[in-house]
Structure 1
Amino acid sequence: MALLNIRNLSVEFATGGGSFRAVDGVDVTVEGGEVLAIVGESGSGKSVSMLAAMGLLPWTATVTADELSFDGRDLRDLSASARRKVIGREISMIFQEPMSSLNPCFTVGFQIREALKQHLKLDSSARKKRALELMEMVGIPAPEKRLTAFPHQLSGGMNQRVMIAMAIACGPKLLIADEPTTALDVTIQAQILDLLTGLQRDTGMGLILITHDMGVVAETAHRVAVQYAGWKVEDQPVETLFDTPHHPYTAALLAALPERATERRLPTIPGVVPGQFDRPRGCLFSPRCAYADDLCRSTVPPLQSPELGRAKCHYPLSVPAKEEVQ
């Protein structure tokens, strides 16, 4: 049984002009101990999908799914109090911006201890001891001193480590990391990724890594789900995805990697991700796709077989990227 099972997830936001479907029919499956990367440009619905699973979207969002289960429990049927016992303890999330996620009015030590008090019911001395252990685990020097610091007194990398310490405080079975290295310099990015993958190996938890950095994906993930404009357009093991992408969008993302460039000018994907008022009638990627024809522009594409990466495409690619994408 999969640790997380999501089937046909859709999320609509009420807007002044009606509604906007940010996630449309997405499936997500994560096994215990697996590292799943969800990739795609900004606006692809990556973060919204996971926030919906955790029940953290605002009241303007309408979430529907054929299945939304975690460790055998249906998350759709949980009461608010029952959900609070799961979220933060068994499922945790590292949010994208630590400076806006941490409360500036409280020390980082207080914020770590708060999660321990809420979920594990530890006494004061046990909470302090566990907070110190967590700070050491995530590689924060002089942890006893840092526990009394406020977020603004720490660097971006330190705050990200504090966020990780909070997320793993209760020993979650599933950790969702939303762009955990955004706005960090390259050296700190590598340290944070090494920390996350090391924790995942040591604890055996499932890890969902939301990112747009394909280099990060290549180094850390077991499996990759590619999202575009609210659709999941491909799902493959990381090795086969990099060798043989089947959706033109995936191939275009990989072709834009500097190490794959064959000319002085890097390849780019023309256009932008469609929004509320410019969504195509057929394939959402058709305005930007070099292979699109009238069928693509008029008809929603089918989902292909696992052998073709479950690509949502009328004409899935079936040859290695280095041959198909110039």
Structure 2
Amino acid sequence: MSLLRIRNLSVDFATASGRFRAVDSVDQDVNTGEILAIVGESGSGKSVSMLALMGLLPWTARVTADEISFDGQDLLNMDRRARRRIIGNDLAMIFQEPMSSLNPCFTVGWQIKEALRFHLGLDRRARHARAVELFEQVGIPDPEKRLSAFPHQMSGGMNQRVMIAMAISCKPKLLIADEPTTALDVTIQAQILDLLAELRNETAMGLVLITHDMGVVAETAERVSVQYAGQKIEEQPVVPLFRTPHHPYTAALLDALPERATEKRLPTIPGVVPGQFDRPPGCLFSPRCKFADDRCRGEPPQPCGADLGQARCFHPLSTDERLAS
């Protein structure tokens, strides 16, 4: 049984001119101890889909789904009190913007100790010892002193490490990491990713890694889900995805990696992700796709079979076509 199971998740936001669909009929599964990477351009709905799972979207959002279950529990029909016991404890998230996620009115030590008090019921001495241990784990120097610092007294990278420490403090069963290493230098990036992988190995924690960094995906993930304009358009284990992407968008993303470039000028994907007013009636990638035809532009494609990476495309690429291009 999947640790996390999502079926037909959609998220719409109310705007002055109507409603905008940010996540469109997404299915997702994460097994115990698995590392799933979700990749895609900004605006593809990666973070929004996970925030919907956490119940952290604003009131302007309307979330619908056929199923959202975590560890055998139905999150869709669960009352708020029971959900609060899960969120932050068994199900935790590292947010992309630490400065807007930490409370500026309280010290970082108080905030991490409050999570330990609420979810684990530790006494004051145990909370302090655990907080120091967590700060040491994520590479925060002089942790005893840093516990009494406010977020504005620390750098963005330090605050990001505080967020990571807070997320792993209760040893969650599933951790969602939204660009967890964005504000960190390369050395600390490797340290944090190694820490998350080590925690996964020790506790069989599932890990959802939202990232733009395909190098991190290649080194860390076991399975990759590609999103575009709110839809999941391909999903494969990491090695087959890098070797043989089936959706033209996935292939274009990988072709833009510097290490794959065969010419001096890097290839790019023309155009932009469709917004509220330029959403095509057919395939959402059709305005930017060199393989698009009239059917693509007029009819929404359905996902293919697992042998083609569940590519949402009328013309999924085969191995021969990739070699030819």
Short-chain TM bin: over 0.9
1:173-223 Cα distance to aligned partner (Å, 9 max, x none):
000000112233333333322222222222220000001111110010000
Distance 1:253 1:116 in 2: 41
In the alignment, what sits opposite 1:66?
Answer: 66
Distance 1:103 1:320, change over 3 A: farther
| SS of match in other structure, 1:5 | strand
In the alignment, what sits opposite 2:276?
Answer: 276
In the alignment, what sits opposite 1:306?
Answer: 306
If the length of structure 2 is used for normalisation, what is the TM-score? 0.97
| SS of match in other structure, 1:272 | coil
The runs of 5 or more residues in structure 2 that have no matched partner are none
Say if 1:244 and 1:321, in contact at 8 Å, map to a contact too: no
| SS of match in other structure, 2:177 | strand
Distance 2:53 2:162 in 1: 23
Say if 2:164 and 2:180, in contact at 8 Å, map to a contact too: no
In the alignment, what sits opposite 2:204?
Answer: 204
C-alpha RMSD of matched pairs (Å): 1.3
The runs of 5 or more residues in structure 1 that have no matched partner are none
1:220-269 Cα distance to aligned partner (Å, 9 max, x none):
00000000000000000000000000000000000000000000000000
Distance 2:40 2:156 in 1: 24
Distance 1:95 1:75 in 2: 20
1:281-300 Cα distance to aligned partner (Å, 9 max, x none):
00000000010000100000
If the length of structure 1 is used for normalisation, what is the TM-score? 0.97
| SS of match in other structure, 1:77 | coil
Q: Give how far 1:118 is off.
A: 1.1
Map 1:281-296 to 2 at 5 A. 281-296=281-296
Greater shift, 239-248 or 118-127, is seen at: 118-127
Distance 2:189 2:130 in 1: 25
Distance 1:139 1:324 in 2: 47
Distance 1:324 1:197 in 2: 37
Letter of the 2:174 partner, please give it. Answer: L
In the alignment, what sits opposite 1:117?
Answer: 117
Q: Give how far 1:138 is off.
A: 1.8
Answer yes or no: is 1:165 the counterpart of 2:165.
Answer: yes
Distance 2:119 2:24 in 1: 33
Say if 1:243 and 1:320, in contact at 8 Å, map to a contact too: no
Map 1:94-105 to 2 at 5 A. 94-105=94-105
1:7-65 Cα distance to aligned partner (Å, 9 max, x none):
11001111111101100010110001000000000000000000001111111111111
Q: Give how far 1:97 is off.
A: 1.1
1:120-145 Cα distance to aligned partner (Å, 9 max, x none):
12221121111112112222222111
Say if 1:234 and 1:311, in contact at 8 Å, map to a contact too: yes
Say if 2:138 and 2:165, in contact at 8 Å, map to a contact too: yes
Q: Give how far 1:279 is off.
A: 0.2
Distance 2:322 2:276 in 1: 34
Map 1:78-89 to 2 at 5 A. 78-89=78-89
In the alignment, what sits opposite 2:108?
Answer: 108
Percent identity between matched residues is 74
Distance 2:142 2:12 in 1: 45
Letter of the 2:215 partner, please give it. Answer: G
| SS of match in other structure, 2:318 | coil
Say if 1:14 and 1:60, in contact at 8 Å, map to a contact too: yes
Letter of the 2:302 partner, please give it. Answer: P
Distance 2:71 2:115 in 1: 21
In the alignment, what sits opposite 1:254?
Answer: 254
In the alignment, what sits opposite 1:215?
Answer: 215
Distance 1:321 1:198 in 2: 39
Say if 1:116 and 1:127, in contact at 8 Å, map to a contact too: yes
Letter of the 2:223 partner, please give it. Answer: R
Say if 2:160 and 2:183, in contact at 8 Å, map to a contact too: no
In the alignment, what sits opposite 1:3?
Answer: 3
Q: Give how far 1:321 is off.
A: 7.9
Distance 2:268 2:6 in 1: 32
Say if 2:157 and 2:183, in contact at 8 Å, map to a contact too: no
The size of the alignment, in residue pairs, is: 325
Q: Give how far 1:324 is off.
A: 4.6
Say if 1:157 and 1:188, in contact at 8 Å, map to a contact too: no
